[in-house]
Amino acid sequence: MALVDLLRDKVVLVVGGTSGLGAAIARAAAREGAAVVVTGRRPDRGDQLVSELEETGASAAYVQGDVGDAAEATRMVEAAVERFGRVDCLVNCAGITTRGTLLDTTQELFDEHIATNLRGPFFTMQAAVRDMVGRGAAGTIVNIITMTSHGGQPYLAPYAASKGGLVTLTKNAAHAHRFDRIRINGLNIGWTETEGEDAIQRRFHGAGDDWVEKANAGLPMGKLGQPDEIADAVVFLLSDRSGVVTGSVIDWDQTVPGTYD
């Protein structure tokens, strides 16, 4: 049940919304009264989430596609408009964090990061803003970015490059469309507990079943970031409750860039 109806009667498109943080955002948006469209590459996950949302009384739809393909990124938005007549809110949540340093990153790995983490959001934003401008309607966009956009670890070189570009794109687009009443903001999220992060930790860092417990013990707040908490912040930025804020990239983390012990 919606708490305060922050997104009542809005159509929210969550790109990369079938699992992890994206699914948490989709659930939060539906809870707050929105019709929700989620995209992703796996129909089984998409259909399962749509069924879950519909059981709560929400209107929901799944669009299969890979945001790393520019044409598919545009088509996802067009499919949402076809299904619900418009897109009021867009969340770019799809992303990859495959490891690579400056020295060992291949051209293929670099291009994959740029395609998914930067080019895809560019073209979903383009299509969504075209819909909003074409209707003469206000809208909101939230890009899920990362604290790594401040620089990051050596083994995240292509990831840092792609997400750093998304920071600049967020601000550029926000400036360009502020008089269209389209607000565009971003969240630099920190280390977050998701099934995707679990897979990354096991694949690249040899993590065992107790990795979350060990990670929690070393963090200031005693826990990793939680998807439902981030989802609440995203809903706030999508909603009128966040006022006139646009072009902001907020550090959503428990570390403070530029400080030292």
Any idea which residue has 């990369």 for tokens?
Answer: 16
Closest C-alpha among 8, 56, 1 to residue 35 = 8
How many CB atoms are closer than 10 A to CB 111?
14
Torsion of the alpha carbons at 114, 66, 134 and 7, rounded to the nearest 10: -100
The domain limits of the chain are 11-190+225-251
Residue 159 known to be catalytic: yes
pTM for this entry = 0.94
Fold of 11-190+225-251: Rossmann fold (3.40.50)
Closest C-alpha among 249, 16, 224 to residue 146 = 249
Residue 220 pairs in a beta bridge with none
- Token digits for 163? 């997400």
How many CB atoms are closer than 10 A to CB 90?
31
Set 62, 155, 159, 260: catalytic member: 159
pLDDT (tens, 9 = 90+) of the chain, 261 residues, equals: 445 799 999 999 999 999 999 999 999 999 999 999 999 999 999 999 999 999 999 999 999 999 999 999 999 999 999 999 999 999 999 999 999 999 999 999 999 999 999 999 999 999 999 999 999 999 999 999 999 999 999 999 999 999 999 999 999 999 999 999 999 999 999 877 777 777 877 888 887 888 888 888 888 889 988 999 999 999 999 999 999 999 999 999 999 999 988
Residue 13 pairs in a beta bridge with 37, 90
Q: For position 212, what pLDDT does the model report? A: 82
204-225 per-position pLDDT tens digit: 888 788 888 888 888 888 998 8
Any idea which residue has 């383009």 for tokens?
Answer: 126
Sign of CA dihedral 233, 236, 237, 238: positive
Residue 40 pairs in a beta bridge with 64
